[in-house]
Structures are given as structure tokens and as C-alpha cells.
Amino acid sequence: IHHFETVRNFFEITKPQFCINCAAYTAVDKAEEEKDLAFQINAEAVGVLAAVCQKYSTQFIHISTDYVFDGTATAPYKEDAVTNPVNTYGATKLKGEQEALQYNPSSIIIRTSWVYSEFGKNFVKTMMKLMSEREELKVVNDQVGSPTYAADLAEAILRIINVSQTSSSNWQPGIYHFSNSGIISWYDFAVAIKEISESK
């Protein structure tokens, strides 16, 4: 309740037109040990934001993940595909989606995958650091996905906002999938990171 009041007071003062929730507990393995914290950040906090956005007529965009699926598909997942998270992280993110739509049916949820950039913690930065420190690395090659550059995701979100400002009917609530094109394994991604970083 304290968190709700803090967020509500902020919205009361600032009255934002849009709220983009990029915050998340993203340590996939560690989430198994810190389940309560992961659920608080990835689910409960999302519900609070969604509810406050509903109260103040703020358009809510929430970033989710492909981890809401079990990863067994042989083709890209469609938005209406059956969810089936196989770990705590995925379960918390799915619960966050459900909280967003329950407390604010006009929410837009964007599921993305393997996000990387020059900032924060992500696979590209981790690999570059480890490659500078070690002679040999072990990276799995049985998991594939579509790496997504954070700036491209941000541009897609800004397009949604810009289009919706031209007409309120352009705001289409629901779940959407966004990633860069192409499919690669974690191993091949690491190899590509090594090749590109050494060529600079």
C-alpha cells in the first residue's frame, strides 16, 4: 500500500500522459533464489503502475519477455500462443502481464527478447568483459532467439506514442511481440560478438 501511495502521489503531481515500464528483475537464474523479490518487481509493481495509470488516464506501456513461453516452438511465437513459463523469471513476467491487463485493460504489453545495448547489464557487455579476462568461455548452443537492440525497441515504442497522439483511436491495447529479425544461438551470438569486437 505504501508503494501505491508513493506512485499515486507522483502521478498526482506530474500527471504524465504516458508511462513506459522498463523496470524488471532480470537475473534469470538468481530469480530461483529470490522468488519473492522477483514477483514484487516483475508482477506486483506492474499491477500498481497499471492501476495508477488507469486512475490518471495515463497510457501504460509495459515491457515483457519471450520467457513467458517454454521455448519449444519451432517457429516464432504469435501473440496468442499459449504461455508456459519454465522458470521463476518467466512466471513473474507472465504474472506482470496479467496484472497490467487486470488493473488497466487499455495497457499495451510488448514482449521482446535478448535485449542488448551499450548500457546496463546484458549478454553483449558480459561477453565482451569475459573475453577480455579469459582465454576460454563456455556458451550454450542449444538455445536460439532473436537478439534485440534496445534502441530499436525504444524507437518502436516512440512510434506507438507518436501515432497515438495523432488520434486516440490509434492506441490499440493488447499484447505485441517485437524483436529484431534473425535467429541465432547464444554460442553463435558470442562468436559474432568476438568477431565484431576484434575487428574494431
The residues that are catalytic are 89
* C-alpha cell at position 140: 550454450
Helix or strand or coil: residue 117?
A: coil
Could you give the CA distance from residue 60 to residue 120 in angstroms, rounded to a whole number? Answer: 23
Could you give the CA distance from residue 129 to residue 121 in angstroms, rounded to a whole number? Answer: 11
Residues in the chain: 200
Residue 18 contacts residue 58 (beta carbons within 8 Å): yes
The total of other beta-carbon atoms located within 10 Å of residue 10's CB is 13
Helix or strand or coil: residue 34?
A: coil
| Angle made by CA atoms 173, 162, 174, in degrees to the nearest 5 | 10
The total of other beta-carbon atoms located within 10 Å of residue 23's CB is 13
Rg (CA), the chain: 18
Helix or strand or coil: residue 111?
A: strand
